[in-house]
Structure 1
């Protein structure tokens, strides 16, 4: 990516470095006249249909998000508009890892796939595209209750534990979505990719926090309905951006269920229409359900439960002591006494932080081989060690320059000369020893003086455990990032000629004048591009709305009706297009 462009948007400018790595340039000039025609067709369909079934703010929300019918949105224009409601937008390369996607939401930045779906996938694409992200997510952002839910969801999702299987499934879905958007994708390769997704889904083991949260995200942000069960409205972006499923989802065969915490028990398949949808009475109910789920998560539960989740995840995680000290690294072991962690251990580069800011001198270069420390209270001392005042510390034998022996209630012993005591926020957080020996209650060595200085974390309990480093940028945490890139076609001469025909029609729509030459465009379409239907519809729209060339219009209309009757894959698209010509969307809606 070239120099970082914040679009003069405060939310985008505030993004941390570990999220900026996913941003790509939009390259607006790469969108073809066919791409703009696809956008225009879908947007006109949306305006025509969704005004009756979408949650109320959808249409005014499009305007507030800086979107119009006529052209694919420019990211700068979107940021100018979204900035007024405290949001921003960036473009990325297809699917990004769920944890990163969630964190963008926490920063109130919409992640928009830079690509746009092919004409042959105009009704629905399994790949994220600019129609889904901007025409789906952006309009509803204007609703305050909803965008509060979205950013709150992001802040919780950013702390969710995820597994190696989660990333493998993400990779499989990303590969399949890219393959399906390739113009000449091999059917055998698609089948293999679909089988890989199915295998991953069937071999996930116990769903991680991220997997369960992703289900709540899917059934709300992507495929949510709001209102009553008998007459709900659409607010989910997946439905708002799918001109096929936004209509079919309202039919009786798609079950409508009340949205409760039970939605976490419903997996989803991104490649198929949904068999059921969930209806929330209000956006506040979304927050209530999210709170219910968050109470089950490691970042709120901490303790043995959270530590075990961190060990199982095999990813960088953070354990937070009750003193506020944060230990980040790959956790590999713990000692449990009386149902609580008594000792925790990381292996490999680790770091210490407070309030998500790395402590000076305690980065992963210093703690390159790992970090370990007791957890809990001292034996024979009523107050937690973290809360002792100066006099009480001296009484417990904790004094700079003195040799001491600390005995924990768990049986762990730490002895050595105290070099330093670090306090912050009114709590003792770290005691550094030289010549230190640490042993468990059986006498096994946990730390040997030959290993150097010993930094002992201080805290009565582990109050929170979450995925990722506390200070991600200082930790230089490069999120798991796919090596698979989206497909960008090199157009052959035949396709370039088709683009030129679309552009000629587009030029005519923006300039008043002679429509006779459109007969030449129609002739070229018939001769060289007989599969086309969208350019023909755009010509017919111009002729019909301007009462021009009635014979030509009648010929094009008949040809389209014949195509609809003889080629089933085009039937709904052509009929919907003809309906839009007869019932045009008024421009006042998009000013």
Structure 2
């Protein structure tokens, strides 16, 4: 990936969203995706996500990042900034560490509703932003950004990337009603939002930080493994209280784990509430 921003982007890789240039058809794609995901997630998403959707009021069309950021700033101090696509790791972490969430400004075509190779504005904003209205998760995302900058200095970015994958993108959480979804990669996918909570195929393991940092993942299929956190508070606390430097040194002496690896310490979790 290029280390210099493309033409038209600022030094931090941000660009104008260009909200006024979206067509009626593009807004209709958003409304279609929003309506079906909102219905599918009513009893599948963590309640804090659904509360964020209601607070941010994003159902009428592609959100204007300026107005969306005003609402978020008043709630948790976050804002959403547009970027031309994937950005370098250092740029990404710097934005997160300063409570800026980067989002692509293009939206998929009508024939791509169910699958898209690159994350678009629906994945980035619908999937990620509602939980940024939740103070504890918002703090976790800032902490992850700061941790990412440190991991780059320590040469351990490959390990920390797994934490993002298995929490922010594909995380499940325990609730009194049973397991629920909070990972954006699941929340923005109609098929995986059903698969993650209903299919008998994937394993669902209690979250263990070292286990997560050792475990590989794949990006080209539904997940065969999900990690389940007990609460956002527990996730944030473990992130803030762990000294990652000695953990990285320890992990450097251990082999990575395949997705289908089984450890004696693994604790599988059932779908239904106990």
Would the aligned equivalents of 1:126 and 1:270 in 2 still touch at CA under 8 Å?
Answer: no
Determine the structure 2 residue equivalent to 1:90.
Answer: 81
Q: More displaced, 69-78 or 266-275?
A: 266-275
Please give the TM-score of this superposition, normalised by the length of structure 2: 0.80
Structure 1: how far apart are the matches of 2:109 and 2:246? Answer: 41
Determine the structure 2 residue equivalent to 1:118.
Answer: 109
Structure 2: how far apart are the matches of 1:105 and 1:21? Answer: 12
**Within 5 A, what are the aligned runs for 1:470-485?**
none
**Which structure's residues are more often strand, by fraction?**
1
Distance 1:276 1:228, change over 3 A: farther
Please give the TM-score of this superposition, normalised by the length of structure 1: 0.38
Offset at 1:285?
Answer: 2.6
Unaligned runs of 5+ in 2: 1-6, 251-274
Would the aligned equivalents of 1:229 and 1:257 in 2 still touch at CA under 8 Å?
Answer: no
* 2:60 aligns with one of 70, 77, 88: 70
* 1:292 aligns with one of 229, 233, 242: 242
Q: Secondary structure at the match of 2:246?
A: coil
Structure 1: how far apart are the matches of 2:228 and 2:206? Answer: 5
Q: Which is greater in Rg?
A: 1
* 1:31 aligns with one of 10, 22, 30: 22
Distance 1:230 1:253, change over 3 A: farther
**Within 5 A, what are the aligned runs for 1:187-336?**
208-227=155-174, 231-250=178-197, 251-261=199-209, 262-290=211-239, 291-292=241-242, 294-296=244-246
Offset at 1:229?
Answer: 11
Would the aligned equivalents of 2:9 and 2:15 in 1 still touch at CA under 8 Å?
Answer: no
**Which structure's residues are more often helix, by fraction?**
2
Query: Does structure 1 residue 80 correspond to structure 2 residue 30?
Result: no
Determine the structure 2 residue equivalent to 1:360.
Answer: none
Would the aligned equivalents of 1:255 and 1:277 in 2 still touch at CA under 8 Å?
Answer: yes
Structure 2: how far apart are the matches of 1:131 and 1:230? Answer: 27
Query: Does structure 1 residue 148 correspond to structure 2 residue 96?
Result: no
Cα-to-partner distance string for 1:104-159 (whole Å, 9 max, x where unaligned): 11101111111112222212323121111111111111211111111111111112
Backbone CA RMSD of aligned residues? 2.5
Distance 1:157 1:3, change over 3 A: closer
Would the aligned equivalents of 2:137 and 2:236 in 1 still touch at CA under 8 Å?
Answer: no
Determine the structure 2 residue equivalent to 1:495.
Answer: none
Cα-to-partner distance string for 1:31-52 (whole Å, 9 max, x where unaligned): 2333212111111012211121
Unaligned runs of 5+ in 1: 5-19, 164-207, 306-591
Distance 1:285 1:295, change over 3 A: farther
Determine the structure 2 residue equivalent to 1:500.
Answer: none
Question: Which is bigger in relative contact order (C-alpha 8 A, separation at least 6)?
Answer: 2
Number of paired residues? 240
* 2:98 aligns with one of 107, 122, 136: 107
